[in-house]
Amino acid sequence: MLSREVSDVSAKPRVATASLCGCFGCHTSLLDIDERILQLVDLVDFDRSPLTDIKTVGDCDLGLIEGGVANTENLEVLRAFRRHCRTLVAVGACAVNGGVPAMRNALALRECLEESYVRGVGVYHPGIPRDPEIPLLLDRVHPIHEVVKVDYVLPGCPPSADTLWTFLTAWLSGQPIAFPYTQIHYD
Amino acid sequence: MSTTLSLDGRPIPFTPGQTIMDAALAAGIYIPHLCHNPDYAPHGSCRVCMVGVGGRLVSACTTAALDGMTVESNTETIQSTRRSIVQMLFVEGNHVCPACERSGSCQLQAVAYYVGMLSPHFPQFFPQRPVDASHPDFMIDFNRCILCELCVRASRDHDHKRVFAVSGRGLASHLVIDSPSGLLGDSHFAASDRAAQVCPTGAILPKHRGYEQPIGQRLYDQAPISVVGDLRAQPGGE
Amino acid sequence: MGEPVDSKVQAFVARSLGLYGQAPEYLLQHLIAVQQQFGWVPPTAVDALAAALDVAHAQVRGAVAFYAFLHDQPRGDFDILFSDNITDRMLGNQRLVGLLAERLGLGLDAPRADGRVTIGLTSCTGMCDQGPALLVNGQAVTALTAARVDRIADLVEEGVPLERWPGAFFRVEDNIRRRGLLLSNPATDGASLRRLLDGGADAALAELERSGLRGRGGAGFTTALKWRFCREAEGGDRTVPRFVVCNADEGEPGTFKDRVLLTSYTDLVFEGMTLCAGVIGARLGFLYLRGEYRYLVPHLESVLARRRAEGLLGKDILGQQGFDFDIAIHLGAGAYICGEESALIESLEGKRGVTRKRPPFPVISGYQDRPTVVNNVETFLAAARVVQWGGYWLRGEGTDQSAGSKILSVSGDCARPGIYEYPFGTPVHRVLTDCGAEEVQAVQVSGAAGTTLAPAEFDRLLAFEDLPTAGSFMIFDRSRDLLDLVRNFAAFFAHESCGFCTPCRVGTALLRNLVEKVAAGQASAHDLQELRDIGAVMRQTSYCGLGHTAPNHVLNTLDKFPAIYRRRLRSADYSPSFDLDAALASARALTGRDGVADHVEEEA
Ligand SMILES: Cc1cc2nc3c(=O)[nH]c(=O)nc-3n(C[C@H](O)[C@H](O)[C@H](O)COP(=O)(O)O)c2cc1C
Ligand code: SF4
Ligand code: SF4
Ligand code: SF4
Ligand code: FES
């Protein structure tokens, strides 16, 4: 079972989070821990995260990834997290198995893009965008464990605030991670 | 003469002719299963009910109970093997639980919880499978079919209709509908069929109903399948 | 072949129904006939057969989709399937496939625009000692060379019907290199049947028991016991029909000895079946012949006809009133699993060849749920001789637990591939010496499902107690990359899994994909552990022998030849399950972008 390995015992563990191809629901769930967030802020330092606005991930003890891998940017961020985080956690259905975005996998990429940018309702200037600034799409949306090694998995769409809290407190205290029945669900 | 086997150390009486699964069900002990339903002939295809007998794994639903038999079920090794099998079922189809009407009362999902599955582990196959919404009352989402053949058996053995069959082979095996067009709407399937009630997943679903039970009150929301039992064990079934 | 006119299809089906009858058991035979005639099974034929045989449309379609030689889309007028066993590959079949495809201007598995031809691959066709081989419209062509393939391209382009292709193309050699107890004498005149009539069934069974004969199809069940169980099934009630089935599916890659027995020892095989019928009280028997061997049908039918004329088959055999027995030939249609006896019985009944639940075993509940003996070709032959010459004749050779001899199909890297018969207990190295194998790196004993042996094990013995074998013996010298063997077998099992149970249906596909990942240089140490873990689950939890044995080659080679995997591994301990850069190819094509940022580098 995974236990916390912190580089510098005196420092607070650093935690980074990112949302790849997800809906920010898992992050919202994290905020749903309500007043416990104050405890959390006392216990950890946040590195890159939508909660901090730090844009690049530094060396961290824990990385939480929401969302699957759908484009080149997702790939880059995920790999950077894997390089910098001692423990990487797949948070939520999309990170775990692709989730709802992976429902596009039933279609070829051309169909998806044409539906959105060519034939779709309300499209004014039909044409698949080619701007090099836009991350390229992968032909399918993949769960993150198909790209990098994942150390722990928190299923749910999203995992409930309690599930996240159970995980975080166990991880912080170095206890084995165990959930009550109602905290593990895939939806 | 009474016959008894030992299941995880507990003596379980049974009548000769019963399988290990029959004996366990009768004694109220849960052995996970997906293709088994006591109303139909044992099938033995999902392999989720594997138990240890004499150092080997056998499927509880097809193995005859024997007097004095020692059966292991709830060990970490066996659970881990079952977990791999359930994970295989998840990756071979497309299971997007958040978008599935059956979620929360799905037997496949509940078995996955029971065996401690947190992720599907293996690479997803992401197969391309259709949804058949041609029938006025029911739809079939083949993305969620695990080939347990319960609908096949119910339609054949109970409804006497043969609406369902399995076609193809290997990973390309798939459920088909017996009608000239291959569509459910053109078959003899009726909402009152037993086959409409037996699916352990969200593959066969009634139409005109959506997410009726609120989250938290669904069949497996509060207690595991080992306590709650199968869908069919519920009053009035589905 | 274009769209056949409905009325033509209906007329053909009607003729087929006239020929085989309307029993649902004959569904598969009708489908095979339709496929042969039209190059596919058109929907009209599905409708006509479902109606005439009173089976569900879905069952008919399900069968078509199950058997590799049946198609619901048209194939070409010439449907060419290259045998794709590892031995064919070692003999260069891939180059020949490429050559023919180039000459004819088409890819794999899709008919050419003019409908003239299709090219595909198929599992081992049982010609490993004279490969590379192919099937054209079901007929076996052997000893392929570039010149032969070139000529085939001409014949196809000119539209020359098969009957006018050079006869030499279709020549199949016996290549018997070493004769022992069984092969030394093909002749028979019904001697074992006379012994049976003189001594009675119990005496015949006693002889079989004394001989210690065990099944030659792989599992090694004691033959006398099997026959006795069947005879005594249903409380021995003689009014209950019983059946004899000869398993001539010979689907295990690398085995071809049953083909030779059916070619040159035909009478003995049929005699063994007749003997069994006499012992168990069967009136009908089936020879389940793999589709790949359909070229043998005329020969087999002529031997059957002759035996009927000689009073060795049919009514009142050898003048014994009430000793009635006849044999029907049923064809398979490209499914390895149909060699498994209960799947075979399903297939005999016209269904998809899916393994049945056992128990009950076929001896209790087999064909049409009646007591049925299923034996391998070689077993029937040996049984006939045992009853003719006595149990000690067999017992005198072999080992304690493995009486008699075993016929091996030897192929791969050796000077003299072919058929070798040895007493049980012969060490592997003896076979290697006899067949002229040098610099041997590995031997695959008992086919893809069998054991991969490293040189340190070449003193192991071919016998049930050490190396049980159905006879396949494939040799790999040091020039070979054994990962090619693994890739070939992994693809074979993924193709041949019947799909009934989860661990084999999904596990064979997972293994194949992981092995391909290794071959592509994209795997990491983690993937090797995955191979082991999946293999262990398949071994322990699969429903039938196919799934139990399908991971053997992977697990064996991981243990004995780890270098074939290791030298291709990435240094990272984990690597993506798919090719990241390739996954961007369609987006690059759709957007016309191809800059540095539009590619992903693999991480070290
Ligand atoms: C996947 C699989 C394929 C098999 N293929 C064959 C075969 O091609 N020929 C054969 O004789 N037995 C085959 N067998 C073994 C048969 O199930 C059965 O044991 C055998 O035909 C019994 O005959 P015997 O007792 O004479 O060996 C196969 C078994 C399995 C599990
Ligand atoms: S069928 Fe069950 S496991 Fe599959 S998506 Fe629906 S709820 Fe999830
Ligand atoms: S549709 Fe449901 S009941 Fe039928 S085989 Fe699939 S999973 Fe089983
Ligand atoms: S192991 Fe299972 S899937 Fe494989 S061939 Fe046997 S029954 Fe079919
Ligand atoms: S429940 Fe026993 S194999 Fe499916």
* Contact state of A96 with B120 under an 8 Å Cβ cutoff: yes
pLDDT tens readout for residues B135-169: 999 999 999 999 999 999 999 999 999 999 999 99
Residue B9's domain is classified under what CATH number? Answer: 3.10.20.740
* Contact state of A138 with C591 under an 8 Å Cβ cutoff: no
Beta pairing class for B10-14 and B3-7: antiparallel
Same domain, residue pair B53 and B34: yes
pLDDT tens readout for residues A90-118: 999 999 999 999 999 999 999 999 988 99
* Contact state of C541 with B81 under an 8 Å Cβ cutoff: yes
A55 pLDDT band, cuts 50/70/90, is: confident
Domain boundary residue, one of B55, B74, B93: B74
Q: Residue C463 to residues A159, C114, C213, C499: CA-CA distances in angstroms?
A: 57, 53, 12, 32
Is residue C254 assigned to a domain? Answer: yes
Has residue C1 got a pLDDT over 70? no
Same domain, residue pair B197 and B85: yes
**How many separate domains does chain B show?**
2
> Residue range C47-52: average pLDDT?
95
**How many separate domains does chain C show?**
5
B124 pLDDT band, cuts 50/70/90, is: very high
Has residue C490 got a pLDDT over 90? yes
Has residue B238 got a pLDDT over 50? no
pLDDT of residue C132: 98
Q: Does C581 touch chain A (CB under 8 A)?
A: no
pLDDT of residue A8: 53
Same domain, residue pair C82 and C156: yes
Has residue C167 got a pLDDT over 70? yes
Interface test with B, best of C540, C578, C580 (most B CBs within 10 A): C540
Residue A56's domain is classified under what CATH number? Answer: 3.40.50.700
pLDDT tens readout for residues C277-305: 999 999 999 999 999 999 999 999 999 99
- Alpha carbons B105 and B211: distance in angstroms, whole number: 11
Has residue C202 got a pLDDT over 60? yes
Closest of B89, B24, B26, B27 to residue B51, by C-alpha: B24
* Cβ neighbours, 10 Å, residue A119: 10
Per DSSP, C368 falls in state G
pLDDT of residue A2: 45
pLDDT tens readout for residues C182-199: 999 988 889 999 999 999
Per DSSP, A21 falls in state B
Has residue C438 got a pLDDT over 90? yes
pLDDT > 90 in chain C, percent? 95
Has residue C418 got a pLDDT over 90? yes
Q: Is the dihedral of CA B78, B80, B86, B91 positive or negative?
A: negative
Has residue B235 got a pLDDT over 70? no
Same domain, residue pair B90 and B188: yes
Q: Which of B34, B151, B155, B187 to mutate to test the pocket of ligand 3 (most atoms within 8 A of CB)?
A: B151
Give the residue, B233 or C250, on which the prediction is more confident.
C250
Same domain, residue pair C233 and C340: yes
Alpha helices by DSSP H, listed for chain B, are 20-26, 76-92, 107-114, 150-153, 225-228
> Residue range B88-100: average pLDDT?
97
Helices C502-519 and C482-496 meet at what angle, rounded to 10? 150
Average pLDDT, chain B: 94
**How many separate domains does chain A show?**
1
pLDDT > 70 in chain C, percent? 99
pLDDT of residue A5: 52
Tell me the two tokens of residue B208: 């005109």
Q: Which atom of ligand 5 is nearest to B59's Cα?
A: 2
Question: By CA distance, what is B61's nearest residue in C?
Answer: C357
Q: Give the residue carrying structure tokens 């034996």.
A: C375
Decide if B161 contacts B229 (C-beta within 8 A): no
Same domain, residue pair C196 and C337: yes
> Residue range B75-81: average pLDDT?
98
State which H helix or E strand residue C33 sits in: helix C27-38
* Contact state of C587 with A109 under an 8 Å Cβ cutoff: yes
SS3 label, residue B64: strand
Q: Is the dihedral of CA C496, C500, C501, C505 positive or negative?
A: positive
Residue B183's domain is classified under what CATH number? Answer: 3.30.70.20
Q: Name every chain B residue with its beta carbon within 8 A of the beta carbon of A146.
A: 123-124
Q: Which atom of ligand 3 is nearest to B140's Cα?
A: 1
**Residue of the nearest CA to atom 2 in ligand 4?**
C501
Domain span at C58? 6-66
pLDDT tens readout for residues B14-49: 999 999 999 999 999 999 999 999 999 999 999 999
Is residue A81 assigned to a domain? Answer: yes
- Alpha carbons A8 and C356: distance in angstroms, whole number: 61
Has residue A39 got a pLDDT over 80? yes
pLDDT of residue A123: 86
- Give me Rg for the CA atoms of chain C: 25
Is residue A26 assigned to a domain? Answer: yes
Tell me the two tokens of residue C331: 């064809």
Closest of C519, C524, C512 to residue C553, by C-alpha: C512
pLDDT of residue A3: 45
* Contact state of A138 with C587 under an 8 Å Cβ cutoff: yes
Closest of C391, C393, C390, C439 to residue C414, by C-alpha: C439
Is residue B235 assigned to a domain? Answer: no
**Ligand positioned closest to the Cα atom of B25:** 5
pLDDT of residue C604: 59
Q: Which of C495, C497, C511, C541 to mutate to test the pocket of ligand 4 (most atoms within 8 A of CB)?
A: C497
How much of chain B is in helix, strand and coil states, percent to nearest 5?
25, 15, 55
- Alpha carbons B174 and B188: distance in angstroms, whole number: 19
Is residue C207 assigned to a domain? Answer: yes
pLDDT tens readout for residues C569-596: 998 899 999 999 999 999 999 999 998 8
A vs C: CB pairs below 8 A = 55
Distance from CA of C507 to the nearest CA of B (A): 8
pLDDT > 70 in chain A, percent? 95
Same domain, residue pair C275 and C328: yes
Same domain, residue pair B30 and B85: no
The verdict on the CB of residue B107 being under 6 Å from ligand 3 is no
Domain boundary residue, one of B52, B74, B96: B74
C342 backbone φψ class: left, alpha, beta (φ>0; ψ -120 to 50): alpha
Decide if C570 contacts C604 (C-beta within 8 A): yes
Is residue B237 assigned to a domain? Answer: no
Domain span at A27? 14-102+139-183
Has residue A20 got a pLDDT over 80? yes
Same domain, residue pair C249 and C372: yes
Same domain, residue pair C546 and C561: yes
Same domain, residue pair B204 and B86: yes
Has residue A86 got a pLDDT over 80? yes
Domain span at B48? 3-74
Has residue C86 got a pLDDT over 90? yes
pLDDT of residue A120: 83
Alpha helices by DSSP H, listed for C542-571, are 545-549, 552-560, 563-566
Ligand 1 mean position, distance from CA C253 (Å): 13
C2 pLDDT band, cuts 50/70/90, is: low
* Contact state of C583 with A108 under an 8 Å Cβ cutoff: no
Same domain, residue pair C248 and C319: yes
Has residue C78 got a pLDDT over 60? yes
ipTM comes to 0.97
Q: Give the residue carrying structure tokens 């000119």.
A: C158
